[in-house]
A and B are shown apart, each in its own frame.
Chain A
Amino acid sequence: MTLPSALQAPPLTVYVEGIGLLGPGLSNWAQGRGALEGTEAYQAARCIVPLPMALPAAERRRAGTVVKVALAVGQEAVTASGLQASALPSVFTSSSGDGLNCHEICSALASSDRLISPTRFHNSVHNAASGYWSISSGAMVSSSVLCAFDGSFAAGLLEAMAQVMLEQTAVLLVAYDTDYPEPLRSVRPLPDTFGVGLVLAPRRSERSLAQWRLAPAVCLTAALAQRLEDDALERLRSSIPAARCLPLLRSVAAQTQGEVVLDYLQGLQLAVQVAPCR
């Protein structure tokens, strides 16, 4: 394999073909874009996660919140894109996985009876949502499942944009987190559930909402991440890792052009060049 040096390498360019959104006070992209654009007031409220009706009944019973939120935003994004879910490679990224399931397993293992159910165990894998997604969508293509703690969204975006560029195919990116119950909540205080789904494509279409670009030589930057002006939305952005995507979604909602810097790792942020398509 011959590799480009960073300065010669062309930018990674993707077009946003569909968005799914679910979080506290955010019930879908159509409603959320108004709050992000500032045309509607954002009202924080407990996230309501719908049942994953696309799953067979047996799997639906077994699915935890983390699976439900990932499937909901993934489905919303794919529907908006008009593309076939079964043909889309996917990238799933989450800071924490299924907190309630983890709590139940650790509680059982600390008790005198260490039995855990098979379902609890297979739901404990970090790729549970990816597995349920492939079962419900019939997608036999690649699915990558990542974690980078608070920087999990930016990690997923890097992976997804690299796949779009190299494979010249549309890719579904799903970032999601759920809150841990006590006592884990005290050591990992995520306040609520949040998920975002993005269908990213290599070519512009009539559905394209925005163009995002990464310049390989400079996109990994020490510049500070962008914050949101609205206090409640900024609290959401900074308190749930998957919600670190909100500045990017705001730029789509407000159709802005320029640079959006996202939180990634300590001292290393991700700078995305954004431009509207409409």
Chain B
Amino acid sequence: MPCTFETVDLPTFVGEVAGVDAVQLPAPLAAFDCRNNRLALLGLLQDGFSEAVAAASKTYGAQRVGVFIGTSTSGILETELAYRRRDPVNGALPADFVYATTHNTFSVADFTRHYLGLSGPAFVVSSACSSSAKVFASAQRMMATGLIDAAVVGGVDSLCLTTLYGFNSLGLMSTQACRPFDFDRDGISIGEAAAFALLEPVPEQLDLDAVLLLGVGESSDAHHMSSPHPEGLGARMAMQQALTMAELGAADIDYINLHGTATPSNDAAEAKAVSALFGSTTPCSSTKGATGHTLGAAGALEAVICALALQHGLLPGGLNTQQLDPALALNYLLNNREQAVNRVLSNSFGFGGTNCSLIFGRAG
């Protein structure tokens, strides 16, 4: 939708979640109140997630369940707003402003841990737009070493002025809803989202519909702070690593959920990386035309979309894209496709040249 968020006066589109302002945090957690944690709570209340975590906490013990959340800007909106209310004489921030539980990067994991009544290890991963893909990698490691038995992972990032005006300063924002892989693509649309997953060890009896985390791959471009490696070298390394860990070949992947931000450079570099590994036949799409780029929440959001694809046998077509860029030689889906889906790969890349690829599969 055209951006009407807060007092933002930019000609751009945003994916704003309805109802965030009306969310009320439980009274004992009032210190955490900010848009980002309200959005987190909205997410935690969906689809029986909190109940599933409560059951896991009972099974494993609250101290044996970790909390690892990705976010890029956390509750910085609170600080942006507080700066408008500085004392005109001494410049002090208003007395009702709380830093630790809102603005600080850790606040969303701290809130999630408190809300879910968990007491195991926790941290935030904040590596820009790969943040909430990388939490799957960290959680998997914590479980594999026996430090914990299960983990709540997720991504939460909410609209704020820093990212809207920041991406605008880089000339990376579209004036319309973003069009990944389109010949005329001209930038991102910023969205917001909260997405969570509960990771548990594989039990002996497994539902056929269960979703398995099969592989993770992480790399760095070592190239530039805000432009991807032109050949997508780091992206390719992350995808290859995920395949290696999953003990799969490129032909085993049924669908790729692309990072697909709709900037000219991201989509070009990603297409080179994907085609170098997979050729040009694997069905793929970016779901950012539907969601916007939810930045630090994108990895977890797209992991959930991958889980839905696996469970429902549905490959999502990319929205908004009118005319595919012929220079990007991929099998990019413009329409939904129903078919059996067994294994999918999801890409998340970010500023600083950070890359993460995840592979998920169906149990049966």
Q: Which residues from chain A sit less than 8 Å from chain B, CB to CB?
A: 1-6, 8-9, 12, 59, 62, 86, 93, 95-97, 102, 105-110, 114-118, 120-128, 130-132, 134-135, 137-149, 151-152, 155, 158-159, 161-163, 165-166, 182-184, 186-188, 214, 216-217, 219-220, 264-265, 267-268
Instruction: Give Cα A204–Cα B93 distance, bound, in whole angstroms.
Output: 51
B312 within 8 A of A: no
Indicate if the CB atoms of B169 and A142 lie closer than 8 Å. no
Indicate if the CB atoms of B170 and A121 lie closer than 8 Å. yes
What 11 additional pairs, Cβ within 8 angstroms, besides A109-B80, A121-B165?
A106-B80, A125-B128, A125-B350, A125-B351, A131-B351, A132-B225, A140-B220, A143-B220, A155-B122, A183-B86, A188-B99
Which 7 A-B pairs give the minimum distances between C-beta atoms? A9-B146, A131-B352, A121-B166, A126-B126, A142-B218, A216-B146, A110-B83
Instruction: Specify the chain A residue showing the minimal Cβ separation from B238.
Output: A142
Indicate if the CB atoms of A183 and B104 lie closer than 8 Å. no
What's the minimum C-beta distance from B36 to chain A, rounded to whole angstroms? 14
Q: Contact partner of A135 among B63, B169, B222, CB < 8 A? A: B222
What's the minimum C-beta distance from B353 to chain A, rounded to whole angstroms? 6
**Residue among A138, A183, A264 with most chain B CB within 10 A:** A183
| CB neighbours of B92 from chain A (8 A) | 182-183, 186
| CB neighbours of B120 from chain A (8 A) | 220, 268
| CB neighbours of A5 from chain B (8 A) | 146, 149
| CB neighbours of A143 from chain B (8 A) | 127, 218, 220, 354
What's the minimum C-beta distance from A275 to chain B, rounded to whole angstroms? 20
Indicate if the CB atoms of B170 and A118 lie closer than 8 Å. yes
Instruction: Specify the chain A residue showing the minimal Cβ separation from B101.
Output: A149
| CB neighbours of A102 from chain B (8 A) | 76, 79
Q: Contact partner of A159 among B76, B127, B141, B143, CB < 8 A? A: B141
Indicate if the CB atoms of B146 and A148 lie closer than 8 Å. no
**Residue among A9, A128, A142 with most chain B CB within 10 A:** A142
Instruction: Specify the chain B residue showing the minimal Cβ separation from A265.
Output: B122
Instruction: Specify the chain B residue showing the minimal Cβ separation from A131.
Output: B352
| CB neighbours of A107 from chain B (8 A) | 83
Q: Contact partner of A158 among B109, B142, B202, CB < 8 A? A: B142
Indicate if the CB atoms of B149 and A3 lie closer than 8 Å. yes
| CB neighbours of B84 from chain A (8 A) | 110
Can you list 8 A-B contacts with CB-CB less than 8 angstroms, sorted by A residue number?
Answer: A106-B162, A116-B169, A135-B225, A140-B220, A147-B123, A183-B91, A187-B93, A220-B121
| CB neighbours of B233 from chain A (8 A) | 140
Instruction: Specify the chain B residue showing the minimal Cβ separation from A148.
Output: B123
Q: Which residues from chain B sit less than 8 Å from chain A, CB to CB?
A: 63-64, 72, 76, 79-80, 83-84, 86, 91-93, 97-100, 104-107, 109-110, 119-128, 134, 137-138, 140-147, 149, 161-162, 165-167, 169-170, 201-202, 213, 218-226, 233-234, 237, 350-354
Indicate if the CB atoms of B83 and A6 lie closer than 8 Å. no
Instruction: Give Cα A135–Cα B97 distance, bound, in whole angstroms.
Output: 37
Indicate if the CB atoms of B201 and A3 lie closer than 8 Å. yes
Instruction: Specify the chain B residue showing the minimal Cβ separation from A167.
Output: B141
Indicate if the CB atoms of B222 and A3 lie closer than 8 Å. no
Indicate if the CB atoms of B146 and A8 lie closer than 8 Å. yes
What's the minimum C-beta distance from A235 to chain B, rounded to whole angstroms? 20
Indicate if the CB atoms of B201 and A134 lie closer than 8 Å. no
Indicate if the CB atoms of A117 and B169 lie closer than 8 Å. yes
Q: Contact partner of A110 among B86, B220, B225, CB < 8 A? A: B86
Instruction: Give Cα A1–Cα B145 distance, bound, in whole angstroms.
Output: 12
Given contacts A110-B80, A183-B86, A183-B93, whether A264 and B223 have CB atoms under 8 Å apart is no
Q: Contact partner of A166 among B126, B128, B145, B220, CB < 8 A? A: B145
Q: Contact partner of A6 among B72, B91, B149, CB < 8 A? A: B149
Instruction: Give Cα A3–Cα B219 distance, bound, in whole angstroms.
Output: 25
Indicate if the CB atoms of A158 and B121 lie closer than 8 Å. yes
Given contacts A144-B134, A188-B100, whether A115 and B141 have CB atoms under 8 Å apart is no
Given contacts A147-B104, A148-B123, whether A216 and B145 have CB atoms under 8 Å apart is yes
Instruction: Give Cα A138–Cα B149 distance, bound, in whole angstroms.
Output: 36
| CB neighbours of A166 from chain B (8 A) | 141, 144-145
Indicate if the CB atoms of B121 and A155 lie closer than 8 Å. yes
What's the minimum C-beta distance from B86 to chain A, rounded to whole angstroms? 6
What's the minimum C-beta distance from B55 to chain A, rounded to whole angstroms? 18
Instruction: Specify the chain A residue showing the minimal Cβ separation from B107.
Output: A149
| CB neighbours of A93 from chain B (8 A) | 123
Indicate if the CB atoms of A139 and B220 lie closer than 8 Å. yes
| CB neighbours of B218 from chain A (8 A) | 141-144
Indicate if the CB atoms of A134 and B220 lie closer than 8 Å. yes
Given contacts A9-B146, A132-B225, A159-B123, whether A148 and B106 have CB atoms under 8 Å apart is yes
| CB neighbours of B134 from chain A (8 A) | 144
Instruction: Specify the chain A residue showing the minimal Cβ separation from B138.
Output: A159
Given contacts A158-B142, A187-B97, A219-B147, whether A116 and B166 have CB atoms under 8 Å apart is yes
Indicate if the CB atoms of A109 and B165 lie closer than 8 Å. yes
Instruction: Specify the chain B residue showing the minimal Cβ separation from A165.
Output: B145
Q: Contact partner of A149 among B110, B169, B201, B354, CB < 8 A? A: B110
Q: Contact partner of B225 among A8, A96, A122, A186, CB < 8 A? A: A122
Q: Contact partner of A163 among B63, B141, B165, CB < 8 A? A: B141
Instruction: Give Cα A11–Cα B72 distance, bound, in whole angstroms.
Output: 33
| CB neighbours of A116 from chain B (8 A) | 162, 165-166, 169
| CB neighbours of B126 from chain A (8 A) | 125-127, 145-147
Given contacts A130-B352, A149-B106, A155-B123, whether A144 and B138 have CB atoms under 8 Å apart is yes
